[in-house]
Structure 1
């Protein structure tokens, strides 16, 4: 069984009920309502067994700190975002609610504490233009190269005004966007509607367009829809970008803050975060899910999930320790998407075998499949959306003016034994 009753959990843990409930409230043990009796809760077996393996009694401060570094309470104070009560909040605003209408640039204004419209207005400024480089294969390589070039020349982040840093943040977001999806459309094409794309371009219309005031710069979601030739998908792309903008102190965000804490440039901080996306446990989860989906098509979803779990690897696209009742970002996107195979069968198998619900990585792959987006679309949406959060944390970390420097708990040989 994937889920345990309270009595079973307490029997395994040998703790008081208050301790069990406290660990649930801290996000260390996932819980859900018992379908047979909504007044009762069930507790995730894997979380209970992991807690049971910990040593009994009062733990030393080193052990507490070590667990926090791996998965636990936040290690840094931040006013940017938090997961609380099954919701993701951006500076106190529900991210799902914001995704219904906001653009990624508007979320950047919120998280960077900029004036409304400042990020979109700055997105095509001359400061965003970078020297032309030979693009490497794929969005990942292009992003790494563009950020590395800026990191080699941009000024350190220390001792600079907030306004200066926010302007630089906007240019870095533009640099990464251009590297991964190409340059913004020129002139009035940035604000064209779907109707414009099919309109007659007679001489009078051309003359009127030439004399009209400059159009508003295209949002990143608009640029993606044009680059992928999917104009009807723009609203869903906008929602996905907003939902990906930030997520507390995840691995990439922590890497960004560590780099910035040394005084490194904003570009260097974003590069540090971006490199973590190459790992299958973070930004590479969508590529891992593609492998799981391929196995499901060949052998069936139940067998694919069982084989994957038997290998000891984390099941890509499913489960999140911060959301006992399921990832709200995934629900917000999935309710707007059709059911597809093998996604539907994989979701059923993952819940039945592991008690795990779809997370945002699953939802991004479903979005890509449903709208015929490129294979690397989930990764691009993750990276461009999260770049806004990395920069928000970079701006916040600059204010701390001290390096992040955890201590190591040495477990190697003693002196004289080598």
Structure 2
């Protein structure tokens, strides 16, 4: 049995790295860690060659499109972020390495291709909350100018303003000199959590064409305002299969504390549903964002036990949603901290993709493959 590195496998397949990882997650290609470099993977040659032969024939256009929408090849080009060889890259820079020192504001400068900026100081007018963020962004979306036909420089300035609106809604009052992670830690009265908050914000800032980012790009492709794109992103993020996954992880951890980790895992699987916040199709060797966060704090005992039991029973490692739930309890943060962190961080990515989409100026309009009844006239 021969094993291929990613370059060799991609050359044979003639696809993007994301497609290779998707085939691994679906069980079509067996993968293992490279014994010479634990950050990389090797792929079974027989599996790769079999898929390459299948792909040699031309597939119908609608089949390609349908597969692309389900963890397949990207549906559009982007220079912002990608997952390659198990690493998350922001404009070619390793996000885990960036999280060692960078702030969320630094990542905004990088992804927006903007000059360094400072968010304006604001006094606390209303209590910060996710609800306040939705209201504030909806108010802006109803009155902000469309993104279409406006210079890129003007839109970058507007992106800072939109980001400030969301930050004010989620963080509340702050001084002009406090970076967001410090302001958020202070608003939660958990100054000691500032560094782990900073790391989480950096790691969550972008994740190529995830559901909320794709929804944002669709909105901006119509010429809608940047704030409308962020509002779309917020709505999509709220789903339990996206940003809301941490809520399910918190519930599972509560069960593990009460009935034991293994019993909680088996009870969940017995319901015929997968474990929430475990596994990620783009990280066959484990979500590096979760690993980066777990390297910086000790999770509560029942979270650690749950992680171990889940891996032993399912073979899946915890993803970043689980890590957010664990650090929320470890640092005694508010229950909705995972969603607040996710929304605040990902707003940077939404705006970056919004700017990129507005600059491209193309409407995103897929076709449907109709499977309904045809009525004869």
TM-score when scaled to structure 1?
Answer: 0.77
Equivalents in 1 of 2:34, 2:178: separation in Å? 48
Equivalents in 2 of 1:342, 1:180: separation in Å? 29
Equivalents in 2 of 1:174, 1:391: separation in Å? 12
CA displacement at 1:353 relative to structure 2: 1.9
- Residue 120 of structure 2: which of 108, 119, 124 is its match? 124
SS at match of 1:32: strand
CA displacement at 1:300 relative to structure 2: 1.6
How many pairs align?
A: 352
Aligned pair 1:230/2:224, yes or no? Answer: no
1:40-70, CA deviations, whole angstroms, 9 ceiling, x for partnerless residues? 9799xxxxxxx9xx9xx86432122111112
SS at match of 1:70: coil
Whether contact under 8 Å (2:159, 2:351) holds in the other structure is yes
Q: What does 1:12-161 correspond to in 2, within 5 Å? A: 26-28=20-22, 29-30=24-25, 31-33=31-33, 59-115=59-115, 117-118=116-117, 121=118, 123-124=119-120, 139-161=129-151
Moved over 4 A (4+): 21-25, 40-43
Task: Point out where structure 1 has 5 or more consecutive residues left out of the alignment.
Answer: 8-17, 44-50, 185-189, 191-215
Equivalents in 1 of 2:42, 2:146: separation in Å? 51
Q: What does 1:170-249 correspond to in 2, within 5 Å? A: 170-184=160-174, 190=175, 217-249=177-209
Equivalents in 2 of 1:231, 1:23: separation in Å? 40
Structure number, greater radius of gyration = 1
Q: In structure 2, do the counterparts of structure 1 residues 278 and 22 end up closer, same or farther at CA, with 3 Å as the change threshold?
A: closer
Q: In structure 2, do the counterparts of structure 1 residues 157 and 314 end up closer, same or farther at CA, with 3 Å as the change threshold?
A: farther
SS at match of 1:71: coil
Match of 2:226 in 1: 266
Equivalents in 2 of 1:387, 1:34: separation in Å? 35
Whether contact under 8 Å (1:129, 1:175) holds in the other structure is no
SS at match of 1:88: strand
SS at match of 2:239: coil
Whether contact under 8 Å (1:337, 1:366) holds in the other structure is no
1:175-209, CA deviations, whole angstroms, 9 ceiling, x for partnerless residues? 1111122122xxxxx3xxxxxxxxxxxxxxxxxxx
Q: In structure 2, do the counterparts of structure 1 residues 314 and 155 end up closer, same or farther at CA, with 3 Å as the change threshold?
A: farther
- Residue 311 of structure 2: which of 351, 354, 357 is its match? 351
SS at match of 1:149: helix
Aligned pair 1:365/2:361, yes or no? Answer: no
Match of 2:253 in 1: 293
Alpha-carbon RMSD: 3.0
Equivalents in 1 of 2:16, 2:79: separation in Å? 24
Whether contact under 8 Å (2:18, 2:83) holds in the other structure is no
